[in-house]
Amino acid sequence: MKRIRNENINTKEYWGNVHKSGQMVEGDDWLKNSVITNHTSELASENSTIFIQDMKSKTDQWALATLVRKERVVDPRPQYQRGPVWSLSQKQLLIDSVLRGIDIPKIYLRELPAQITRKRRPNYQYEVIDGQQRLRAMWDFFRDDFGLADDSDPVDGFKIAGFQYSDLPERLKDDLDIRQLSVVIISDADDIEIEEMFLRLQNGTTLKAAERRNAISGKVRDFIKAVSQHKLFKKSVIFKDTRFAFNAVAAQMLALELVGGPTDIKDRNLEQVYRNNDFNPNGRAPKHLKKVLTYLAKEFDERTPELKKQVVVSLYLMVSDLLKNYSISRTLKRGEFKDWFLEFEKYKITELAKPDEEKRDSDIETYNFHIQQGTNRKESLAARHESLMKLFLLRFPKVEYRDPQRLFSSIQRLAIFRRDGGLCRSCRKKVDWDDFAADHIKPHIKGGKTTLENGQLLCALCNSKKLDK
């Protein structure tokens, strides 16, 4: 195994400081407690070693004014980083702490190799590994983008309540400017090594699962990052791309597509997808994913309030099934799918408003329950998918199932059984679910299509009589 080679820093020092409860300071917990202590821990334990050969690190003391001046050459958001997430009160508390001389955690910067600065990021000399939120807060304060809290207590007898940087007394400005901060400079490390450090660094912080996955380099991450920029996300859905929300939904879609149907799409399942080293972005599943997104984007060509996260995932699964297994492209005109979905949403509201639950549509009840409970479980996705598909096929009975054996699909069979009320179309006798036949009214051998319109429920006896003719 290859370990870190360090020059001026002990490798046993953990990447940050913690307050007394043991939480990382970069998250909200440090700001809420504002009690900081140094904490050391093994960075590489017996069962967990960073696979790095030549990485170097050294600790410098930089004046705060120097950090501010270097803003233009520091990239605060490399690919593995989240964006700005701190609230105004969090920023204010950080600056207040610096003014009072309270120690703050080290800033970790990567010194970018010359080949990267020349080719990919010519304006930057460094990228932030840890401390992005703190840096942004300090940069913003020195630009007068915000002021201190209105209830701030004086510092050394000077009032600071509501003050921006330019409002501070010269003495406090000087103190801020020359305040020494510990900055760890990492060099001679490649992208994968830096991203591995970032993940280890964030253990115990408030990073969202999608943010952690974004730090897992590879073809899956790059593919999902590209997919998250699709027009469907940018123009159609109602939710915002807060903390990689688009990436999270795109990853769920990819997980469903790779399996070919309902499957668990919880955070741990998505992480396994990200770590798939055999992923081919030009394979059948990724290509079909793009096809489904394009279809949905054409249907929902404007911001649609109904397109929430769980709903978008269900619609994706539905359209993926329809495009693969049904003649939807030949049967439906553009806009008909969207119209059906909006009708479905109105129908759902009407049904759920009925005071007597027994009179509600059972498919609507099932869908509504599973869109709210265990939304990322395989069973929940399958139940929602079955309800949506059944209602869709009942609305569009001419949609044909593209099966080489020309058998009705399981969902078509269910729709036929419900539509015909469990009664044989020929003798009108009640038929159990296990004993009915989904029959082509016009036989398939004579050109009959495998559609609900051409399907009927027959009991075993009537079906055998028809076969004998």
What is the rounded distance in angstroms from the CA atom of residue 129 to the CA atom of residue 416? 58
At residue 1, the pLDDT reads: 32
Q: Give pLDDT, residue 18.
A: 31
> Against a cut of 0.75, is the pTM above it?
no
Residue 330 is predicted with a pLDDT of 78
Q: Give per-residue pLDDT as tens, 92-136.
A: 999 999 999 888 888 899 888 776 655 566 778 898 888 889 999
Between CA 270 and CA 213 the distance in angstroms is 8
What is the per-residue pLDDT across 246-277, written as a single tens digit (0 to 9) for each? 999 999 999 999 999 999 999 889 989 998 88
Give me the pLDDT at residue 83, please. 74
pLDDT at 466 (0 to 100): 80
CATH class of the structural domain 410-468: mainly alpha
pLDDT of residue 33: 35
Nearest residue to 300 via CA among 396, 229, 225, 233: 233
Separation between Cα atoms, residue 314 and residue 304, nearest integer Å: 15
pLDDT for the residue numbered 120: 60
How far is it, in rounded angstroms, from Cα 38 to Cα 126?
Answer: 25
Per-domain residue ranges of the chain: 28-207, 219-395, 410-468
Q: Which residues of the chain have pLDDT under 70?
A: 1-54, 80, 82, 115-121, 192, 195-207, 215, 403-405, 447, 467-469
What pLDDT was estimated at residue 373?
79
Q: Is 101 left (phi over 0), alpha (psi -120 to 50) or beta?
A: left
Q: How high is the pLDDT of residue 131?
A: 86
